[in-house]
């Protein structure tokens, strides 16, 4: 697990966007991206749009799979994650919307929708880079604490804490849907690269448990310790409770240029 610590969320998000753009270039434009929603990736998506506008990367051959969607929300609902992705990234780049996959929250057979979603990922050749955030309780996607570490895309019930965290777009936590469709931890772990973003002091405890704590279903993100290519991108506040943060900084700062993914694109 690589841990990269930046002064603030702006610098961290700029670096994350450069990493993603480099992955698209590495795949000659044909990258399969796993995408996340919420507050954390907003600046990264903003930076990706800037990189596209500067003509340094194209999304026209990119395929995208989102982590999750609320059960019972249509994609046309402004509170849906489909609407979020369109507003925050898809409308700002040249991506083909027919290649942008998000679980169907209105599916009449949610279990069958989950099986089909897994098959779509397999048909696309698997995910090259999976973008992730982390909840204060250590969840990734909507894999709440106690989720199976080998789980696949499925229906999950949200905890009250998660519903409170997502209440802003619904007016109250009571209005947040209680169920979601989410990629499982096993699905996430099959991505060839995982990139997790965490910003702010309220994420520091979860980050410390994920990076330096025990591998446990009580902290679902800790499964990433087992991933062969996982990069954790933090700001100073989110990194504040890491016991070995000085070591992580030293290792990252001493990378040769050919290993660095945070340098400006040519």
Q: What's the 3-state SS for 79-140?
A: CCHHHHHHHHCHHHCCCCHHHEECCCCCCCCHHHHHHHHHHHHHHCCCCCEEEECCCCCCCE
Active-site annotation holds for 212:
no
Write the CATH number of the domain with boundaries 2-259.
3.40.50.1360
pLDDT attached to residue 169: 86
Active-site annotation holds for 139:
yes
**261 has pLDDT over 90:** yes
pLDDT attached to residue 62: 98
Give the separation between CA 221 and CA 205, rounded to whole angstroms: 12
Mean pLDDT, rounded, for 76-93: 96
Give the separation between CA 183 and CA 67, rounded to whole angstroms: 5
Give me the catalytic one of 69, 137, 190, 236.
Answer: 137
Active-site annotation holds for 144:
yes
* pLDDT tens per residue across span 151-177: 999 999 998 989 998 898 899 999 999
Q: Where are the domains of the chain?
A: 2-259
Active-site annotation holds for 68:
yes
Q: Average pLDDT of the chain?
A: 97
* pLDDT tens per residue across span 178-214: 999 999 999 999 999 999 999 999 999 999 999 999 9
Give me the catalytic one of 9, 47, 68, 104.
Answer: 68
> Considering the chain, what percentage of its residues have pLDDT values greater than 70?
100
pLDDT attached to residue 200: 98
Length of the chain: 266
Give me the catalytic one of 47, 113, 139, 190.
Answer: 139
Mean pLDDT, rounded, for 64-84: 95
DSSP string, 216-256: BTTBGGGGGGG-SSEEEEEETTTTTT-TTHHHHHHHHHT--
Mean pLDDT, rounded, for 111-122: 98
**10 has pLDDT over 90:** yes
Out of 58-62, 159-163, 218-222, least confident range: 159-163
Beta bridge mates, 64: 33, 100
Q: Are 252 and 2 in contact (CB under 8 A)?
A: yes
> Considering the chain, what percentage of its residues have pLDDT values greater than 90?
97
pLDDT band at 25 (very low <50, low <70, confident <90, very high): very high
Give SS3 for 17: helix
**131 has pLDDT over 90:** yes
- Stated pTM of the model: 0.96
Query: Burial of 199 by CB count in 10 Å (0-12 exposed, 13-18 middle, 19+ buried)?
Result: buried
Parallel, antiparallel, or unpaired for β 179-182 and 154-157?
antiparallel
Q: Are 35 and 103 in contact (CB under 8 A)?
A: no
Q: Are 224 and 185 in contact (CB under 8 A)?
A: no
Give me 27's structure tokens.
């795949």
């Amino acid at each position: 697990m690589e841990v990269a610590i930046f002064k603030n969320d702006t610098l961290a998000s700029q670096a994350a966007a450069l990493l993603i753009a480099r992955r698209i270039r590495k795949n000659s434009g044909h990258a399969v991206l796993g995408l996340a929603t919420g507050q954390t990736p907003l600046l990264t998506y903003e930076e990706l749009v800037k990189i596209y506008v500067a003509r340094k990367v194209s999304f026209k051959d990119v395929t995208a799979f989102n982590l999750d969607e609320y059960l019972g929300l249509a994609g046309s609902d402004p509170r849906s994650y489909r609407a979020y992705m369109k507003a925050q990234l898809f409308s700002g780049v040249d991506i083909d919307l027919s290649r942008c996959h998000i679980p169907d929250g209105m599916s009449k057979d949610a279990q069958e929708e989950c099986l089909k979603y897994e098959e779509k990922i397999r048909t696309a050749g698997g995910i090259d880079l999976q973008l992730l955030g982390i909840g204060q309780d250590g969840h990734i996607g909507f894999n709440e604490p106690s989720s199976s570490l080998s789980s696949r895309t499925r229906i999950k019930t949200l905890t009250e804490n998660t519903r409170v965290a997502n209440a802003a777009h619904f007016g109250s936590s009571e209005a947040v849907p209680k169920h979601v469709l989410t990629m499982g931890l096993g699905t996430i772990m099959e991505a060839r690269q995982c990139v997790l973003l965490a910003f702010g002091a309220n994420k520091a405890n979860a980050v410390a448990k994920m990076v330096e704590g025990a591998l446990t279903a009580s902290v679902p993100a800790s499964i990433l310790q087992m991933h062969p290519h996982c990069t954790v991108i933090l700001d100073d506040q989110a990194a504040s409770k890491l016991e070995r943060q000085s070591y992580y900084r030293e290792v990252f700062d001493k990378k040769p240029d050919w290993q660095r993914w945070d340098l400006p694109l040519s």
